[in-house]
Structure 1
Amino acid sequence: MVEMLGVIAPLFVLILVGFGAGFAPRFRQGTPYLNAFVFYFALPCFIYTSIVSAPEVGSFPLAVPLIVLTVTPLVAVGLYYLCRGLGGLSRDLAAPVSLAGSFGNVGYFGIPISVGILGPEAGLTAGIVHMVHNIFFLNGYPLVRTAVLTRQREGSAGSFSELWRMQLWPILRRGLLLNPVFWFMALSLLVVLTPFSMPELFDEPVAMLGATAVPLALFCVGLALHPALQGVRSGAVPLLPVGIGTVAKLLLLPALTWLAVLPFYDSLGPIWAGTLIILAATPSSTTAFIFSEQYDRDGRMAAAVLVGTTGVSLFTLPLIAAVLL
């Protein structure tokens, strides 16, 4: 476990640096621009480089998307209805708890941790799992929340065709057609699975940009901790749903993923199986905070779960990694 902590601890140091920088207003004000750079430039390049430089891992098991698209939605829906049943503020904040308690930081945390623990072969597997995971969340949550909020605001007055044309289709277009992560994923798979290759004049700058993704993204995670702490201190964020979201993200989701992996282990093998469990055990994503700010009009609950999962994962991730090995 001490060895695993050595792999993971540097990532938390970067988060602490970002948290310290967040006490200066100019850094907090720059957070949206830093996140935009990571999402549109650094992260796509990082994923591309991780995949094309990874050794081959054989075939792609169909159980992988089946597990991701079954276990994760079950946890998200379960969290939503659990918080709705608690009543009070927990009921009003059920959607952000559901999001933050199931949407993991599979890109910034998951890929480097998977490679560090399982070896370079995990670069390809983690990149593919990341793509499946993000297709679900980057489209699912905005679509569902937009539809629900529109229906609450307008009742049954508006037609579905109008809702699709004006709100839902633009979300899908941004999430898929205009998403640089998916285009770079497609390019990397083309390079890996076919004789096609990109010139060094492309690969080298992409690798340089990709090298900035993890440190800058974790720096942004540290910056995002400030609004969460402000929300907890103000009393606007009840601690019970924060605890529920944290436990669900760091313990329930990896445990259910492990159970789902067991029947398919022979076809998955240790790299695919280990990657699925490690990515399930990552703390909440900063995108959960951004989405909650945009679609729930208050990101403090998602940010509070982000704080809880980030802090506790310093202990749970090395433990899960040690058990896997």
Structure 2
Amino acid sequence: MQGVLNVTLPFFALIGGGYALGRMKFLSQEGVKGLNTFVFYFALPCLLFRTMASKPIAEIFDAPFLAAYTVVGVVVFAVIALIGRLSFRCSLGQAGLQGQAAVVGNIGFLGLPLIMALMGDAAGVPVALGLLIDLIIIVPLTFALLEADRQTGNGWVRYARDLTRSMIFNPFVLSSGLGIIVSALGWGLPVPIDAFTKLLGGAAGPCALFALGTTLAGRAISSGLGQVSYMILAKLIVHPIAMWVGMVLIFPVDPMWAQAAIYVAAMPIGANLYIIAQNFDTYAHETSTAVLLSTFVAVFTVSALAAFMG
């Protein structure tokens, strides 16, 4: 357990440090925005690109893993959204946000650097693929349910257009896709490019965690704690268990990839949930609280999982 804590606690301490400085207003809103911009558009994309480009294409596309991850994600999304809609009598869009909360974790800012620290660089590929599946399949399901709530004829056209644009130009999708292309072509990375992406990608972990903390400092704990607790339980307990069932008992997934996927499923709720809710002007307080509290609870649940999995 001590060895696990030696890895996990520094990561969560970085989040805590960013949170504390954010609460004390050491960084202005412009400073926080600049730090997030650096991480989102430069550091993390470099890490994702190098992770994909440095692996043979045969090691990237693992059919059992892709099938298991996708099926588990869609099933958990649907079940949590349905139960939430029936239990809390919430709208279709709010149920969709609950479903996304249960499935889409903070993979980029927290999961990728933490899981690679726990398992080594080889775990970067399944983590990156999980991130792509969430962005391309799960998040659009949330948008579809939110748009269904609006019930406007032109809404679906705008939804499809905006969603396509956001996926194509998402830095994580672009960088991972470019890395996959380089891998498929068998080019390898020239030494200067490899050194550059390694240097910049190395900044992704600490900067992303600190940026996450400063961002969470702007969130407040609000009402609706019953629904918030439901989302946190679904994300930190239900999703990892479901991922274990899918990866270990149902699909013949490589043990290392299965372990990485379970870690991904155990990550706290991704911050983009709140951004989506805010953009649709619904469920913003509940999602903001869920993102904040799930990150704090994950200090204990992720450490316990890492100790259990060895």
Same fold by TM-score, threshold 0.5 exceeded?
A: yes
> Aligned runs of 1:75-114 on 2, under 5 Å?
75-87=76-88, 93-114=94-115
Number of the residue aligned with 1:2: 2
Q: What amino acid is aligned across from residue 166 of structure 1 in structure 2?
A: R
Question: Residue 83 of structure 1: CA displacement?
Answer: 2.7
Number of the residue aligned with 1:301: 286
Number of the residue aligned with 2:206: 215
> Aligned runs of 1:16-31 on 2, under 5 Å?
16-23=16-23, 24=25, 26-28=27-29, 30-31=31-32
Q: What amino acid is aligned across from residue 209 of structure 2 in structure 1?
A: L
- CA–CA distance in structure 1, aligned partners of residues 274 and 123 of structure 2: 27
- Deviates most, 239-248 or 101-110: 101-110
Question: Residue 81 of structure 1: CA displacement?
Answer: 2.7
TM-score, normalised on structure 2? 0.87
> Given that residues 54 and 122 in structure 1 are in contact (C-alpha distance below 8 angstroms), is that contact kept between their aligned partners in structure 2?
no
Instruction: State whether structure 2 residue 266 is matched by structure 1 residue 290.
Output: no
Once the two structures are aligned, what percentage of the paired residues are identical?
Answer: 26
Instruction: State whether structure 2 residue 160 is matched by structure 1 residue 168.
Output: yes
Unpaired segments ≥5 residues, structure 2 = none
TM-score, normalised on structure 1? 0.83
Q: What amino acid is aligned across from residue 253 of structure 1 in structure 2?
A: H
- CA–CA distance in structure 1, aligned partners of residues 30 and 232 of structure 2: 27
- CA–CA distance in structure 2, aligned partners of residues 98 and 264 of structure 1: 22
Instruction: State whether structure 2 residue 142 is matched by structure 1 residue 141.
Output: yes
> Aligned runs of 1:196-235 on 2, under 5 Å?
196-228=187-219, 230-232=220-222
Question: Residue 312 of structure 1: CA displacement?
Answer: 1.5
Give secondary structure in 2 for the equivalent of 1:285: coil
> Given that residues 85 and 91 in structure 1 are in contact (C-alpha distance below 8 angstroms), is that contact kept between their aligned partners in structure 2?
no
Q: What amino acid is aligned across from residue 171 of structure 1 in structure 2?
A: L
Q: What amino acid is aligned across from residue 6 of structure 1 in structure 2?
A: N
The count of aligned residue pairs is 309
> Given that residues 79 and 98 in structure 1 are in contact (C-alpha distance below 8 angstroms), is that contact kept between their aligned partners in structure 2?
yes
- CA–CA distance in structure 2, aligned partners of residues 199 and 92 of structure 1: 47
Question: Residue 251 of structure 1: CA displacement?
Answer: 0.8
> Given that residues 81 and 96 in structure 2 are in contact (C-alpha distance below 8 angstroms), is that contact kept between their aligned partners in structure 1?
yes
- Deviates most, 44-53 or 268-277: 44-53
Q: What amino acid is aligned across from residue 16 of structure 1 in structure 2?
A: G
> Given that residues 105 and 283 in structure 1 are in contact (C-alpha distance below 8 angstroms), is that contact kept between their aligned partners in structure 2?
yes
Q: What amino acid is aligned across from residue 2 of structure 1 in structure 2?
A: Q
Number of the residue aligned with 2:233: 247
> Aligned runs of 1:46-65 on 2, under 5 Å?
46-53=47-54, 58=59, 60-65=61-66
Question: Residue 82 of structure 1: CA displacement?
Answer: 2.5
Question: Residue 227 of structure 1: CA displacement?
Answer: 4.4
> Given that residues 43 and 204 in structure 2 are in contact (C-alpha distance below 8 angstroms), is that contact kept between their aligned partners in structure 1?
yes
Number of the residue aligned with 1:320: 305
Question: Residue 129 of structure 1: CA displacement?
Answer: 2.2
Q: Deviations over 1:42-97 (max 9, x none)?
A: 22111122334569984733122222222222222322232323347799954433
Q: What amino acid is aligned across from residue 215 of structure 1 in structure 2?
A: P
- CA–CA distance in structure 2, aligned partners of residues 56 and 173 of structure 1: 26
- Deviates most, 84-93 or 37-46: 84-93
Question: Residue 184 of structure 1: CA displacement?
Answer: 1.6
- CA–CA distance in structure 2, aligned partners of residues 58 and 277 of structure 1: 19
Unpaired segments ≥5 residues, structure 1 = none
Question: Residue 131 of structure 1: CA displacement?
Answer: 1.7
Kindly tell me: are residues 292 and 30 of structure 1, through their superposed partners in 2, closer, same or farther at Cα, counting changes over 3 Å?
farther
